[in-house]
Structure 1
Amino acid sequence: MRLAEIFERVVGPDAPLRFTAYDGSSAGDPNSDVALHVRTPVAVNYLAQSPNGLGLTRAYVSGHLELEGDMYTALRHMADFAFAEGINVSARDLARIVRSVGWVKFVNRVAPPPEEMTRGRLVARGWRHSKQRDAEAIHHHYDVSNAFYELVLGPSMTYTCAVFDDGDGSPDRVGRADGALESAQFRKYELVSRKLGLEPGMRLLDVGCGWGGMVMHAAREHGVRVLGVTLSKEQAEWAGKRIAQEGLSELAEVRHMDYRDVPDGSYDRISSIGLTEHIGSRNLDAYFASLYSKLVPGGRLLNHCITRPRNNLRPMDTGGVINRYVFPDGELEGPGRIQTAMNDAGFEIRHQENLREHYALTLRHWGANLDRHWDEAVAEVGEGTARVWRLYMAGSVLGFERDVVQLHQILGTRLDDTASHMPLRPEF
């Protein structure tokens, strides 16, 4: 049995993409603008070991499987047929596959690509969401290369959802180097600033500050004294240099430290933009209690994070593609779970907003940046890591578009006795 026959048995004869394989066989739509090419038997090994998205990812990242054409389009087509849910092959067909490929080649276990975060590497660093293990997880994803992130994220160096208006958010502007993404990131920081009600002289704590985008925005645009903290040493070093270059050192600072080590009780405002995903479900209550304790009475917290569309979904697969290749130990919760944890920590919830479509647009811009700078990116981090990013960002666009994931901003206040110090009708 040739591989094209296997492909047709698994997904049917009408798959909306071209399929080719190293054995010379082909299937699918010969006129499709996207193609799946099995380059070597190792790809079959990966799929035999993990007949699902993980096997496909391993084969693609390692270069034994090629997805030709626009990655988003390819994934969208694949999500619409059986490959997306796993490869279901009868025992009879399995025997024919084994005879065709060769028993030794079929059962031979191939090590995952080096870009995969193995469970052993994490366990060696301690319990899930201990300080040491969190630091290792953050190092895996964020200490890739600042130069690489500059290629993908653009001048803003902001790795969180932007906020687009109808003009900047139009599909025909995606991929154009015209500043639309930078404008949208500025708009996001300004939205956070307005929700927090930043005023000159206030003290802001930005937890999980990344490369300091919110830190510098608050200092430059609102005259706020800001401390940003990050577990990524490379981010902290980059942010420190940029803060000095922009002449903001008297107001802004970024430290390489865990948010849990920040002293309590001295901040007027706190922003948490893209950190809650790394906290873990069991730690949410303690996380928000910790942030509450760092605020003065009358202070505000703006929590911005990726969420799941419902609160009653079963726990996420901690051994899936995203956890192994992108965000080790990452966990997503429904917006109600986040809001309840904030509320139970003492915060009065004042506003909630879903920016799901905005994140799909943001990811499209990042993916276009990567494609435009592909050769430079590969030279900087290697082809395997660049492939991880191309696959992860295109898949994430699909996830946000199809409501698999969402993005919520939730604003809470620490009451001053019973006073919220909020305007009756906020302008934001």
Structure 2
Amino acid sequence: MKLADMVSLVVGDDVDVALTAYDGSRHGPIDCDVRLDIRSPRAVALLMSAPGQLGLARAYVAGELEVHGDLFTALDRLARLGVTEPTGSEKLRLYRALAPFALRREPPPPEEVRLGGSRHSKRRDADAISHHYDVSNTFYRWVLGPSMAYTCAVYPKADATLEEAQEEKFDLVCRKLGLQRGDRLLDVGCGWGGLVRHATKHYGVKAIGVTLSEQQAQWAREAIQADGLGHLAEVRHQDYRDVPETGFDAISSIGLTEHIGLAHYPAYFGFLRSRLNPTGRLLNHCITRTDTGSRTHYKNGFINRYVFPDGEVVPIGRIVSAMEDQGFEVRHEENLREHYALTLADWLRNLEEHWDEAVAEVGMGKARVWKLYLAASQMGFHRNMIQLHQVLAVAPDQHGFADVPLRLALDRG
């Protein structure tokens, strides 16, 4: 039984993605602009090694499955494919044809990682962050652009550049936090220090940023010195739980909550509140998911195995509730989902423009992980499978009051 015949039994003939296989069979429109190429029996074995996206990712990262045409378009069309129910005799034929592949038990690509130790211990969290962020600052510079901002940008207009959008994101966070000259800002999970530098340069605050990535911290320190901001800005290679200072006027958490884990939200938001002055503000910016079912799919999927080990995204309501449970008063919330789809499209375009250099820098396997990760994430935000929420909260004083204007100044002055 040819591979194309197996695919036809499962998805039918009305498809907008073509398939070619090493056994000479093909399925789908001949002139299709997107084509999947199953290059070897190993590709089939890897596809069968795990259900859904993980098996597909293994075959792609290993180079045994190739996508010809735009990767985002291919993933978007695959997500729309319906599945038909084979008859009993067809199921038996499929079983007999696929059994030899299932018995191969191909090991996953070496880029797949499983961490040891207790989940969300300081040591394991450091290993998880290092796996993703301590890749190569040069590689990140090619993908992220000059801002080195690795979180959702905010596009002030549809044709804004990535750099303009990242600048707008930094400034929007500062405006929501109501920063004033002389304020003290703590940025947890500060990355390469973009927000720390923006807040000190444009708002005159004193800022501390912390990151578990040594390469990020080193890059940020050099950028701070180059900007002449050393008297106001500091970036540490440090776990946020080890920050001893208190009395901050504002805290920003931009893209860190995804690494914390739902079970640790009470301790996380409790710690952040303990570092704030009364009536101080917290801006939490993170990815959320739209379904409310089991988290197993996310824990065992491609992103957790290849990109963000131990990452966990939850519906926005769980985050708001966790913040309120620690005494925060939530004052503003917005979903920037479409902005993240645009951001990812720009990052993917950057990667493709520097593809040969990226492969030379980090290896073909890691480069393919990133290409799949960016395209799949873009598809997820585009299709409203995941979202990006900013939640602004304030820590009330001992009387339960919060000093917040009647209307937040969210527009640029």
Q: Which TM bucket (shorter chain)?
A: over 0.9
Structure 2 residue 17 is the aligned partner of structure 1 residue 17 = yes
Determine the structure 2 residue equivalent to 1:91. Answer: 92
TM-score (norm 2): 0.95
Deviations 1:193-227 (A, max 9, x none): 00101111111000000000101000111111110
Cα deviation for residue 297 of structure 1 reads: 1.1
Structure 2 residue 127 is the aligned partner of structure 1 residue 145 = no
Determine the structure 2 residue equivalent to 1:314. Answer: 294
Unmatched tracts of structure 1, length 5 or more: 170-179
Trace 1:103-182 onto structure 2 (pairs within 5 A): 103=100, 106-118=102-114, 122-123=115-116, 126-168=117-159, 180-182=161-163
Determine the structure 1 residue equivalent to 2:276. Answer: 295
Determine the structure 2 residue equivalent to 1:342. Answer: 323
Partners in 2 of 1:385 and 1:83 — Cα distance? 31
Cα deviation for residue 10 of structure 1 reads: 2.1
Determine the structure 2 residue equivalent to 1:211. Answer: 192
Partners in 2 of 1:281 and 1:418 — Cα distance? 26
Find the residue that maps to 1:371 and give its secondary structure. helix
Count of aligned pairs: 405
Determine the structure 2 residue equivalent to 1:246. Answer: 227
Cα deviation for residue 92 of structure 1 reads: 2.4
| Percentage of identical aligned residues | 56
Partners in 1 of 2:294 and 2:22 — Cα distance? 39
- Which amino acid counterpart does residue 314 of structure 1 have in structure 2? S
Cα deviation for residue 80 of structure 1 reads: 1.1
Partners in 1 of 2:92 and 2:121 — Cα distance? 44
Find the residue that maps to 2:165 and give its secondary structure. helix
Trace 1:353-392 onto structure 2 (pairs within 5 A): 353-392=334-373
Deviations 1:325-353 (A, max 9, x none): 11111111111111111111111111111
Partners in 2 of 1:376 and 1:367 — Cα distance? 14
Question: Over the residues paired in the alignment, what is the CA RMSD in angstroms?
Answer: 1.7
Deviations 1:33-63 (A, max 9, x none): 1110011111011122224211111010000
Cα deviation for residue 83 of structure 1 reads: 7.3
Conserved 8 A contact 2:10-2:84: no
Partners in 1 of 2:156 and 2:136 — Cα distance? 31
Partners in 2 of 1:58 and 1:239 — Cα distance? 34
Structure 2 residue 220 is the aligned partner of structure 1 residue 229 = no
Partners in 2 of 1:387 and 1:405 — Cα distance? 22
Conserved 8 A contact 1:348-1:413: yes
Cα distance change, pair 220–111 in 1 and its aligned pair in 2 (3 A): same
Cα deviation for residue 14 of structure 1 reads: 2.3
Deviates more, 1:215-224 or 1:264-273: 264-273
Deviations 1:164-196 (A, max 9, x none): 123336xxxxxxxxxx10000000110000010
- Which amino acid counterpart does residue 276 of structure 1 have in structure 2? T
Trace 1:175-214 onto structure 2 (pairs within 5 A): 180-214=161-195
Partners in 1 of 2:295 and 2:51 — Cα distance? 21
Structure 2 residue 405 is the aligned partner of structure 1 residue 423 = yes
Unmatched tracts of structure 2, length 5 or more: none
Find the residue that maps to 1:357 and give its secondary structure. helix
Cα deviation for residue 23 of structure 1 reads: 1.6
Conserved 8 A contact 1:35-1:67: yes
Partners in 2 of 1:23 and 1:333 — Cα distance? 42
Structure 2 residue 220 is the aligned partner of structure 1 residue 220 = no
Cα deviation for residue 136 of structure 1 reads: 0.7
- Which amino acid counterpart does residue 71 of structure 1 have in structure 2? L
Determine the structure 2 residue equivalent to 1:8. Answer: 8
Conserved 8 A contact 2:9-2:84: no
- Which amino acid counterpart does residue 20 of structure 2 have in structure 1? T
Partners in 2 of 1:200 and 1:332 — Cα distance? 34
Cα deviation for residue 314 of structure 1 reads: 2.4
Structure 2 residue 58 is the aligned partner of structure 1 residue 58 = yes
Trace 1:409-420 onto structure 2 (pairs within 5 A): 409-416=390-397, 417-420=399-402
Cα deviation for residue 316 of structure 1 reads: 4.2
Partners in 1 of 2:98 and 2:304 — Cα distance? 30
Cα distance change, pair 83–379 in 1 and its aligned pair in 2 (3 A): farther
Cα distance change, pair 84–139 in 1 and its aligned pair in 2 (3 A): farther
Deviations 1:81-100 (A, max 9, x none): 14799xx97132221345xx
- Which amino acid counterpart does residue 115 of structure 1 have in structure 2? E
- Which amino acid counterpart does residue 244 of structure 1 have in structure 2? Q
- Which amino acid counterpart does residue 194 of structure 2 have in structure 1? G
- Which amino acid counterpart does residue 164 of structure 2 have in structure 1? S
Deviates more, 1:4-13 or 1:372-381: 4-13
Find the residue that maps to 2:319 and give its secondary structure. helix
Conserved 8 A contact 1:17-1:30: no
Find the residue that maps to 1:77 and give its secondary structure. helix
Partners in 1 of 2:94 and 2:191 — Cα distance? 50
Partners in 2 of 1:316 and 1:229 — Cα distance? 30
Cα deviation for residue 151 of structure 1 reads: 0.5
Structure 2 residue 31 is the aligned partner of structure 1 residue 31 = yes
Partners in 1 of 2:300 and 2:236 — Cα distance? 31
Cα deviation for residue 228 of structure 1 reads: 0.2
Partners in 2 of 1:418 and 1:97 — Cα distance? 64
